Structure 1
Amino acid sequence: MSHPAANYEEIRAEIGRRFPTLSRQLQAIARFALERPHDVALDTVAEAAGKCEVQPSAMVRFAQTLGYGGYSEMQRIFREQLVQRSSSYRERIATMRRAEPNLSRPKAVLHDFVSDSIAHLTHLEEHVTAERLDDAVAIISRARCTHVLAQRRAFPVACYLSYALGQLELPVSLLDGVGGMLREQVHAIRDEDALIAVSFRNYTPEVLELTADAHRRGVPVVVITDSAVSPLARSATVAFDLGDDSDRPFRSLVEPICLAQALVVSVGHHLTGTTRAKAKRPARRGK
């Protein structure tokens, strides 16, 4: 990169691109920067280093690796992103929690999940770009068949995508590995098909391996994961990184399900628009 990233989207992409080549210490800082951008924007270099459990000099070295003259120059990008954001739902959530201190245990659990879901959906809208959505919709719309791959806690997202794309009367295959045939199912995918792969930390090794195999064979891959430095993102044609929720005992599925619904409905709009455009074309007259 001849010049350092000029905005937040560029720096996220650059961190993801460089991540495999970074030292273990710099990889830890990269994860911190992507997962806690508010801290990078607002903390001093010493405070951020303390949270990342590294020396301040390592934070400076990370910024210089990305092409910046120092940490403060990189920090400016994160601060600009923070200023551009809409008013924070997290502040509203904190207020709600202070206002309801005596909720019963089940009600408190529901309240906690609802509050976190509001924050997740706000994050989703702010960080998913129109370009990525358009690219993913185009890949799914032109595919001969769309195959959906996920395991463990990400599997409900794959089930929904398989069901909903089928309701659009699109050829779709849920790669569920019944009978131990997952590897064979993935190897049957052709380059005119598309693969949607979903995985979050701790990533399912088989999903990573088989997605990488499909990508190497030229299959367009749409990835839904939790970080720009996710190993699954390396195999993506288009990647949606939704943020790392690994500090929570249960990962909320609200964000990936909402994204999945948006993709399905957008594909439906795209296909309807294409059909109408074809119908409006004048028929050719015979000679």
Structure 2
Amino acid sequence: MVTSVQDRKKTGADLPATHEEMVQAIAASYEGLSKRLKQIAAYALDHPNDFAIDTIAETAHKADVHPSALIRFAQAFGFDGFTDVQKLFQRRLLEAHTSYEARLKSVRDAGDNTPPALLERFTQSDIAALEHLRDVIPADKLEKAIGLLGSARVIHIMAMHRAFPLAAYFYYAAASMRRRVQLIDNTGGMGREQLNQIAPDDALFVASFSSYTPEVIHAAEETHRRGIPVVAITDHPLSPLIANSSICFHVRDAAVHDFRSLGASMCLVQTLVVGLGAGA
């Protein structure tokens, strides 16, 4: 639930002090926002660089809202005005040596489509995505996720469509380490029966990317509702997996000509699995 300025002052709630904290606050409060404020939240998360440097009039035009809505957006999170929120986004730009978005844009804008040039663009995009992953994933979050998975009697694994390779690798690598794992793959249309096998002392690992496979979201929601640990990988701070997991990693994989890589997401899966093995 989003609190007003007065409510925050009464309760002594801390304002977001960094861009990362602001993203977390938006994700946690998103469902309670009005339609217009949701529109601004989505724009801020999708276009953080523009949100940092544009005037309030320019931001309002791009987000298709009235400028006063930007002030209400800031106040919904306890700030006095739009510029207070904007400063968090500006600080993010100042702290980055070369922004991830700018590096990817330079790769995408190259016009040469010969095979060697395509290989160069894919590798450079993945390098940028991997370095971004390294910079933004908190160590304590990794340790907590590995702890939840490591204490589970059985780790159940589920992903579909583009995310399926993450599940397949997790299952293969963990099984090779003699971890008790089950792949929920809906073989024979028995996905519901497979999901019902998750016991209270188990854990669920899921991955899903936009436009979010309903079966995976349902599995995470149902398992999380039962109080069973769910560790998730997704691609957006407003992904439905955020609200239906114990720990959710937001990963920005590289894309060239709209062909999305799994390099960063797979690197994170490898980190989780090897971390499991190291703690065995």
TM-score by length of 1: 0.85
1:199 to 192, 208, 227: 208
Counterparts of 1:154 and 1:258, CA distance in 2: 13
Q: Could you tell me which residue of structure 2 aligns to residue 17 of structure 1?
A: 28
**Residue 172 (structure 1) aligned with residue 192 (structure 2):** no
| Partner residue, 2:66 | 55
Aligned partners of 1:222 and 1:239 also within 8 Å: yes
Amino acid at match of 1:236: S
Which residue matches 1:240?
249
Q: Give 2:139's aligned residue.
A: 130
How many angstroms apart in 2 are the aligned matches of 1:73 and 1:66? 10
List per-residue Cα deviations over 1:3-42 (Å, max 9, x = no partner): 3212223212111111111123322221222232222222
Give the Å deviation of 1:206: 1.3
User: Quick one: which amino acid aligns to residue 57 of structure 2?
Assistant: A
Q: Which runs of structure 2 are paired with 1:64-143 in the superposition (5 Å)?
A: 64-88=75-99, 103-143=112-152
Gap runs ≥5 in structure 1: 272-287
Q: 1:224 aligns with which of 230, 233, 236?
A: 233
Q: Which amino acid aligns with 2:86?
A: Q
Distance apart, 1:233 and its partner CA: 1.1
Q: Secondary structure at the match of 1:190?
A: coil
Is the aligned partner of 1:211 residue 2:220? yes
The residue aligned with 1:34 is: 45
Supply the distance in 1 between the matched residues of 2:28 and 2:101 (Cα, whole angstroms): 30
Matching residue's letter, 2:21:
E
For the 8 Å contact 2:252–2:264, the answer to whether it is kept is: no
Rounded to whole Å, the distance in 2 between the matches of 1:77 and 1:213 is 35
Q: Which runs of 4+ in 1 moved over 3 A?
A: 86-98, 243-248
Q: Is the 8 Å Cα contact of residues 85 and 126 (structure 1) preserved in structure 2? A: no
Q: Match of 2:3?
A: none
Over residues 43-66 of structure 1, what are the superposed CA-to-partner deviations in whole Å (9 max), with x where a residue is unaligned?
222222333232322222211111
Of all paired residues, the percent bearing the same amino acid is 40
Partner SS for 2:44: helix
- The answer for the alignment partner of 1:149 in structure 2 is 158
The one-letter code matched in structure 2 to 1:188 is Q
Shift of 1:203: 0.7
Report the equivalent of 1:185.
194
Distance in 1 (alpha carbons) for counterparts of 2:253 and 2:133? 12
Distance 1:57 1:112, change over 3 A: farther
Alpha-carbon distance between aligned partners in 1 of 2:162 and 2:237, rounded to the nearest angstrom: 19
1:149-174 CA-to-partner distances (Å, cap 9, x unmatched) read 11111111111111111122111111
Total equivalences in the alignment: 269
Query: Aligned equivalents of 1:62 and 1:244: distance in 2?
Result: 29
Question: In 1, are the aligned partners of 2:107 and 2:125 still within 8 Å (CA)?
Answer: no
**What root-mean-square deviation, in Å, do the aligned CA atoms of Structure 1 and Structure 2 show?**
2.4
Q: Which moved more, 1:183-192 or 1:77-86?
A: 77-86
Contact 1:132/1:239, CA 8 A, preserved across alignment? no
- Is the contact between residue 136 and residue 238 of structure 1 (CA under 8 Å) also seen in structure 2? yes
Cα shift readout 1:202-227 (whole Å, capped 9, x = no counterpart): 01111111210011111100010112
Larger radius of gyration: 1
SS in 2 for 1:195: strand
- Matched AA of 1:27: K
